[in-house]
């Protein structure tokens, strides 16, 4: 796969990984799930291979455990994830049905991609699903994850999946429309429309956030964007409610230019 050189090439990207966080598709923002699926189905219809990395299992399961806030106890987090994961995928499938698209649930941890055998198996499974025109919905395997269940909000996992599949493009969706020089609510914050390959962004102040249903923030998204860009994958960071414009190639959000990967690419699993 060859990453798009500019944002104009988004509409012709052949393989796209899209990541959405819990806070973007739960609670008051649950209505965004429908437009998200519409945009994914649109990219799928034009021939792109689409992978969705979706947080939200814990947030989806919380009401069924009568929880008002994200639990801090690991065992309760795992229980909420176990309840919520199947419901989350079902909600995606219900919205994909009208497009004739089938979703597949794929649960991974970052350690799965670190282990050579697990990584090859994950790659083979995902490649097969894409060849069959199935839309994989990837999530952290929260029922067994430990450290990963509390940090990263799947941003790192999305970058690892994009790298594993040699994607053309990684789209990181959040509640904020772009990367800013400092938290967007602060005085003097300016949107950064373009990040050149290798730019250290030394003057950018980023923070972590905890929304009550998910974790993460600009810092985890910036780290994921760097990981993907350093692997030769272009990255677009924007808001979930702008996903349709993002996948149409409109000049929104923050575009991270793909660098030239110095790491040798693994051969596809046989």
What single string gives the DSSP state of each residue in 162-188?
HHHTT-SEEEEEESSSSEESS-TTSTT
Residue 139, marked binder: no
Residue 269 in any domain: the answer is no
Q: How many CA atoms lie within 13 A of 79 on its CB side?
A: 13
Residue 269 is predicted with a pLDDT of 43
> Per residue in 78-122, pLDDT tens?
999 999 999 999 999 999 999 999 999 999 987 788 899 999 999
Side-chain-side CA neighbours of 240 within 13 Å: the count stands at 23
CATH number of the domain where residue 55 is located? 3.40.1160.10
Which of helix, strand or coil describes residue 214?
Answer: coil
Q: Is 238 exposed, middle or buried (0-12, 13-18, 19+ CB in 10 A)?
A: buried
Residue 134: which domain range? 7-256
d(CA 218, CA 178): 9
Domain membership of residue 268 (yes or no) is no
Inside any domain, residue 262: no
97 assigned to a ligand binding site: no
Higher pLDDT, 70 or 266: 70
| pLDDT surpassing 80 at residue 56 | yes
Q: Hey, what are 101's tokens?
A: 């698209």
Write out pLDDT tens, residues 2-52: 445 578 889 889 999 999 998 899 888 889 999 999 999 999 999 999 999
In a domain, 265, yes or no: no
| pLDDT one-digit tens code per residue, 151-161 | 456 899 999 99
Sequence-ordered list of residues with C-beta below 8 angstroms from that of 56, at least 6 positions apart, any chain: 20, 21, 22, 25, 26, 84, 88, 139, 214
55 annotated as a binding-site residue: yes
The pLDDT assigned to 268 comes to 44
User: How many domains, the chain?
Assistant: 1
In-domain check, residue 167? yes
DSSP state letters, 103-153: EEEEEE-HHHHHSHHHHHHHHHHHHHHHHTT-EEEEEE-TTT-SGGGTSST
154 is in an annotated binding site: yes
Q: Evaluate if residue 250 carries a pLDDT over 50.
A: yes
Q: What is the DSSP letter of 49?
A: E
Whether 261 is covered by a domain: the verdict is no
Mean pLDDT over each residue of the chain, to the nearest integer: 88
Structural domain contains residue 270: no
Over residues 130-189, the pLDDT tens digits come to: 999 999 999 988 787 665 444 456 899 999 999 999 999 999 999 999 999 999 889 999
In-domain check, residue 75: yes
């Amino acid at each position: 796969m060859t990453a798009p050189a500019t944002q104009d090439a988004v509409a012709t990207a052949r393989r796209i990984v899209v990541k959405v966080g819990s806070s973007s598709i739960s609670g008051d923002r649950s209505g965004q799930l429908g437009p998200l699926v519409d945009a994914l189905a649109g990219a799928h219809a034009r021939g792109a291979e689409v992978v969705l990395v979706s947080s939200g299992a814990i947030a989806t399961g919380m009401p069924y455990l009568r929880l008002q806030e994200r639990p801090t106890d690991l065992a309760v987090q795992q229980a909420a994830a176990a309840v919520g994961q199947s419901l989350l995928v079902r909600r995606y499938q219900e919205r994909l049905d009208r497009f004739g698209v089938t979703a597949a649930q794929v649960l991974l941890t970052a350690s799965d991609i670190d282990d050579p055998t697990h990584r090859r198996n994950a790659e083979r499974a995902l490649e097969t699903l894409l060849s069959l025109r199935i839309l994989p919905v990837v999530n952290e395997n929260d029922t067994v994850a430990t450290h990963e269940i509390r940090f990263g909000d799947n941003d790192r996992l999305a970058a690892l999946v994009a790298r594993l599949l040699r994607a053309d493009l990684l789209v990181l969706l959040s509640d904020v429309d772009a990367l800013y020089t400092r938290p967007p609510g602060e005085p003097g914050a300016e949107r950064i429309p373009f990040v050149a390959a290798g730019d250290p962004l030394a003057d950018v102040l980023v923070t972590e956030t905890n929304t009550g249903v998910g974790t993460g923030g600009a810092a985890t998204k910036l780290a994921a964007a760097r990981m993907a860009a350093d692997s030769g994958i272009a990255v677009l960071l924007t808001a979930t409610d702008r996903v349709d414009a993002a996948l149409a190639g409109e000049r929104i959000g923050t575009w991270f230019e793909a660098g030239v990967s110095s790491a040798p690419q693994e051969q596809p699993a046989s």
